[in-house]
């Protein structure tokens, strides 16, 4: 585990302990967040302001947060795991690190996001399809065509022009692995990943960083979630959001109740609150342009502006439960058989 993460954990535990000494332990809700740091901070501050419940928080990537919750399972420190790619949430549910909660807000959610693996073990918070951030200027300068399908990315002309995150640290990359294994069939999928690896210039720690590299012109193509491409384009980076024509996978960002949460009642109150349109709508204020789970939360206009209507992207039948059950095996095989190979 990264040292900074454990230092952050110490800050939260200290804040919690201080509150307990002051007799306010029952008026606390510890938030573990995986989205953008500012978004997590804003959500915590808003909940605290509206309810009076003290809300210390930590932000870490999806896979790092999974590792933290797993390390604390004998003595849970957090109450709610908010956001981040669904696969680690689903894996945590399978491992018994989180527990079911059927929020009364679930009927308000888009049906396919309500209960992605069944049993109210994870609730969908938002969704976003996987795609590419393409720097057309770099491609034109090098005389390369615009890629259209996943198979295009394995062609020799794109060698050294692709970036993707590392699935050992980023949920985005794990979504890409599962997408390609499901799209191609598992063994053909591994063959595909070996070919793609030869064209990858850089594996990044965070999921969105590959899109930033494309925006900076260090690569031509970053494999990221399409809402991240919208974010970078709005920041002025010269990237275009492209959805693979042969279909793509997608994330369902999860919200989970940590098993044995020390402030269970407040944790459930937070989850109900986080699923309301008013709360979900603030995501766009922090450059987070996912499709929110509540049917009454409007899609940000900039998504349409950049030609990405998430509900109209061609998606594959993404098997979230299979992805969560096979997560350890898939990441291990990728690290040993793909990442270890020369490029």
Instruction: Please say if the pLDDT value at position 97 is more than 90.
Output: yes
Instruction: Please say if the pLDDT value at position 339 is more than 60.
Output: yes
202 and 146 belong to one structural domain: yes
13 and 152 belong to one structural domain: no
In DSSP terms, which residues pair with 98 in a beta bridge? Answer: 258
Instruction: Please say if the pLDDT value at position 1 is more than 80.
Output: no
pLDDT band for position 307 (50/70/90)?
confident
94 and 223 belong to one structural domain: no
pLDDT band for position 13 (50/70/90)?
very low
Instruction: Please say if the pLDDT value at position 7 is more than 50.
Output: no
pLDDT, tens digit, 9 for 90 and up, residues 131-184: 999 999 999 999 999 999 999 999 999 999 999 999 998 888 999 999 999 999
Question: Quick one: tokens of 79?
Answer: 């109450």
Question: Quick one: tokens of 57?
Answer: 């928080």
63 and 150 belong to one structural domain: no
Question: Quick one: tokens of 266?
Answer: 């407040």
299 and 229 belong to one structural domain: no
pLDDT score of 25: 61
- Number of structural domains (the chain) is 2
Domain hosting 246: range is 130-250+315-339
- The domain that holds 196 is classified in CATH as 3.40.190.10
228 and 258 belong to one structural domain: no
Q: Strands 221-225 and 162-165, how do they pair?
A: parallel
62 and 140 belong to one structural domain: no
How far apart are the C-alpha atoms of 324 and 301, rounded to whole Å?
Answer: 33
333 and 203 belong to one structural domain: yes
Question: Quick one: tokens of 300?
Answer: 């940000």
What does the pLDDT average to over 312-322? 90
178 and 209 belong to one structural domain: yes
Q: Strands 123-134 and 221-225, how do they pair?
A: antiparallel
In DSSP terms, which residues pair with 127 in a beta bridge? Answer: 252, 291
10 and 114 belong to one structural domain: yes
218 and 263 belong to one structural domain: no
30 and 161 belong to one structural domain: no
pLDDT band for position 22 (50/70/90)?
very low
* High-pLDDT (> 70) share of the chain, %: 93
Instruction: Please say if the pLDDT value at position 306 is more than 90.
Output: no
């Amino acid at each position: 585990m990264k040292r900074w993460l454990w230092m952050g954990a110490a800050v939260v535990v200290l804040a919690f302990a201080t509150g307990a000494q002051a007799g306010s332990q029952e008026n606390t809700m510890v938030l573990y967040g995986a989205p953008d740091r500012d978004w997590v901070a804003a959500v915590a501050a808003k909940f605290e302001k509206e309810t009076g419940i003290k809300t210390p928080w930590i932000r870490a990537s999806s896979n790092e947060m999974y590792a933290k919750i797993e390390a604390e399972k004998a003595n849970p420190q957090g109450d709610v795991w908010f956001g981040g790619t669904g696969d680690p949430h689903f894996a945590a549910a399978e491992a018994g690190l989180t527990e079911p909660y059927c929020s009364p807000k679930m009927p308000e959610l888009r049906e396919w996001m309500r209960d992605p693996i069944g049993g109210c073990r994870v609730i969908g918070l938002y969704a976003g399809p996987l795609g590419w951030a393409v720097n057309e200027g770099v491609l034109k300068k090098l005389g390369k065509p615009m890629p259209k399908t996943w198979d295009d990315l394995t062609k020799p002309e794109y060698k050294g022009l692709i970036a993707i995150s590392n699935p050992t640290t980023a949920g985005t990359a794990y979504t890409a692995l599962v997408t390609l294994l499901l799209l191609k069939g598992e063994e053909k999928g591994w063959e595909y990943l070996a070919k793609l690896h030869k064209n990858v210039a850089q594996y990044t720690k965070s999921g969105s960083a590959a899109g930033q590299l494309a925006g900076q012109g260090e690569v031509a193509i970053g494999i990221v979630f399409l809402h991240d491409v919208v974010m970078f384009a709005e920041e002025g980076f010269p990237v275009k959001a492209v959805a693979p024509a042969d279909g793509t996978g997608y994330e369902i960002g999860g919200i989970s109740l940590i098993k044995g949460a020390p402030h269970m009642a407040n944790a459930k109150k937070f989850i109900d609150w986080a699923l309301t349109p008013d709360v979900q709508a603030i995501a766009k204020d922090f450059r987070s342009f996912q499709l929110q789970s509540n049917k009454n939360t409007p899609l940000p206009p900039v998504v349409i502006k950049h030609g990405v209507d998430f509900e109209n992207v061609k998606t594959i039948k993404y098997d979230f439960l299979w992805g969560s059950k096979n997560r350890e095996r898939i990441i291990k095989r990728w690290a040993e058989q793909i990442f270890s190979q020369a490029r």
